[in-house]
């Protein structure tokens, strides 16, 4: 039986990927572990030193990869490549069953039940909730969960074969252009799409066991307790915990919730302390400030997310005229476009106008951006865009 697991990280999450992979291989020494690094190059380490195999972005066969990467912020990009990675492992690495985990997960028990379900099912999922959330005005609420999706895609198991392939092809097609963090459009990266999948592709197994994918969103229904070296949830073994919203300072359980503190979750604090130690020992300090090259033009200028969205809104056909959007040198490049005036009657560049368009405060402060308020708007932009959006001052030549 050829089984494996995978995860996806940018460079600053390498330590988390190491902890995840090590925890998997401890439970499944017969399995294979793979880490896709969302970068142009792999770290300067030997694969055997890690215990898992690195996968490069260019191995996945993503059509027009530069444009694909440019259109998304880092969270969107790391989720958009998920079905590409799963398909690659099933086809090229010839796995029969593969499980994806978010990098901030720690596996405590064997995953035999998941692999068993994949023998007869196309995929395996876990729901965010299996019990109602109290109506107490705290986060997350059931409305928050409805915005995010029924299932948490920090975990998914997929089997090989025709139906698994059909599912992944469908998912790839949707995430090609629609892996946005845009709840107002009914999208939450890769996750909301999977609300549809169990009703469209073969049979999906849904695991409701409280030991699977315990996280901040289900603490209201799950109680963690320590029994010596063993962890149990509602009396059952903890299989894996998802440290979503984790911060190494342990200042909170998750930045995404405000319902529980450490005083009400003593066992959880102990688990978090052990996880923090594992992450620190796996090179957290050396990796935490690594930058993703897909956030920068080739001249070193940081690409603010609103400019990525500008590129996205052009549409694939219109954007294709710019060629590789990361390149700044060629005539007709996207970089030159954003520094060109919006029209011939103004010197306000697209870079500034696109920000003006989405910020009501700027519209109120500079109501006539192309004439009476033009100079003041440009002066504001030269000072404040570098401060707020991380662009070096030397690029603000307009």
User: Which has the closest alpha carbon to 1: 110, 112, 165, 109?
Assistant: 112
pLDDT the model gives residue 44:
67
At 292-311, the pLDDT tens digits run 999 999 999 999 999 999 99
Residues 351 and 337: their CA atoms lie apart, in Å, by 9
Residues in contact with 95: Cβ distance below 8 Å, sequence separation at least 6, in sequence order: 2, 3, 4, 32, 89, 160
Whether residue 140 has a cis bond before it, omega within 30° of 0: yes
Domain map (residue ranges) of the chain:
3-287, 296-395
Residues 224 and 268: their CA atoms lie apart, in Å, by 6
Token digits of residue 365: 């402060």
In this prediction the pTM is: 0.94
Phi and psi angles of residue 109, each rounded to the nearest 5 degrees, phi first: -140, 165
Where does residue 124 rank: exposed (0-12), middle (13-18), buried (19+ CB within 10 A)? buried
pLDDT the model gives residue 48:
47
HSE on the CB side for 323, CA within 13 Å?
9
Q: What residue ranges in the chain does DSSP mark as E strands?
A: 3-9, 32-37, 53-56, 97-101, 105-107, 123-125, 155-159, 181-182, 187-188, 204-206, 224-227, 230-233, 236-237, 240-242
* DSSP secondary structure, 266-289, as one string: HHHHHHHHHHHHHHHHTTHHHHTT
Regions of the chain short of the pLDDT cut 70: 1, 44-49
Rg of the chain over CA atoms, in angstroms? 23
User: Which has the closest alpha carbon to 154: 370, 7, 305, 344?
Assistant: 7
Q: Which residues pair with 233 in a beta bridge?
A: 224, 236
Q: Which CATH number fits domain 3-287: 3.90.550.10, 3.40.50.300, 3.40.50.720, 2.60.40.420?
A: 3.90.550.10
pLDDT the model gives residue 229:
85
């Amino acid at each position: 039986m050829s089984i494996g697991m995978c995860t996806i990280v940018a460079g600053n999450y390498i330590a988390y990927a190491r902890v995840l992979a090590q925890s998997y291989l401890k439970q499944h020494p017969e399995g294979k572990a793979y880490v896709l690094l969302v970068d142009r190059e792999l770290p300067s380490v030997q694969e055997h030193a890690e215990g898992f195999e690195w996968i490069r972005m260019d191995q996945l066969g993503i059509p027009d990869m530069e444009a694909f990467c440019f259109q998304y912020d880092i969270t969107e990009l790391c989720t958009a490549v998920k079905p590409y990675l799963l398909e690659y492992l099933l086809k090229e690495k010839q796995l029969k069953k593969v499980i994806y985990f978010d990098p901030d997960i720690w596996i405590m028990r064997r995953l035999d039940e998941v692999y068993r379900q994949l023998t007869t099912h196309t995929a395996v999922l876990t729901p965010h909730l299996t019990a109602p959330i109290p109506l107490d005005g705290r986060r997350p609420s059931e409305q928050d969960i409805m915005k995010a999706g029924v299932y948490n895609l920090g975990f998914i198991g997929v089997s090989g074969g025709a139906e698994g392939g059909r599912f992944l092809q469908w998912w790839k097609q949707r995430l090609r252009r629609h892996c946005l963090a845009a709840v107002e459009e009914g999208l939450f990266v890769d996750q909301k799409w999977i609300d549809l999948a169990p009703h469209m592709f073969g049979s999906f197994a849904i695991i409701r066991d409280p030991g699977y994918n315990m996280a901040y969103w289900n603490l209201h229904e799950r109680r963690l307790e320590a029994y010596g070296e063993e962890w149990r949830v509602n009396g059952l073994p903890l299989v894996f915990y998802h440290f979503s919203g984790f911060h190494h300072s342990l200042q909170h359980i998750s930045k995404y919730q405000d319902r529980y503190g450490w005083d009400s979750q003593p066992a959880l604090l102990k688990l978090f302390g052990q996880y923090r130690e594992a992450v620190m020992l796996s090179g957290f300090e050396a990796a935490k400030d690594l930058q993703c090259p897909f956030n920068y033009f080739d001249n070193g200028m940081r690409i603010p997310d609103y400019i990525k969205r500008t590129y996205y809104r052009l549409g694939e056909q219109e954007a294709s005229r710019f060629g590789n959007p990361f390149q700044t040198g060629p005539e007709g490049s996207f970089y030159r476009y954003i520094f060109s005036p919006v029209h011939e009657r103004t010197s306000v560049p697209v870079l500034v106008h696109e920000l003006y368009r989405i910020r009501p405060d700027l519209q109120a402060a500079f109501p006539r951006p192309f004439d009476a308020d033009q100079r003041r708007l440009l002066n504001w932009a030269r000072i404040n865009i570098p401060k707020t959006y991380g662009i070096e001052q030397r690029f603000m030549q307009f």
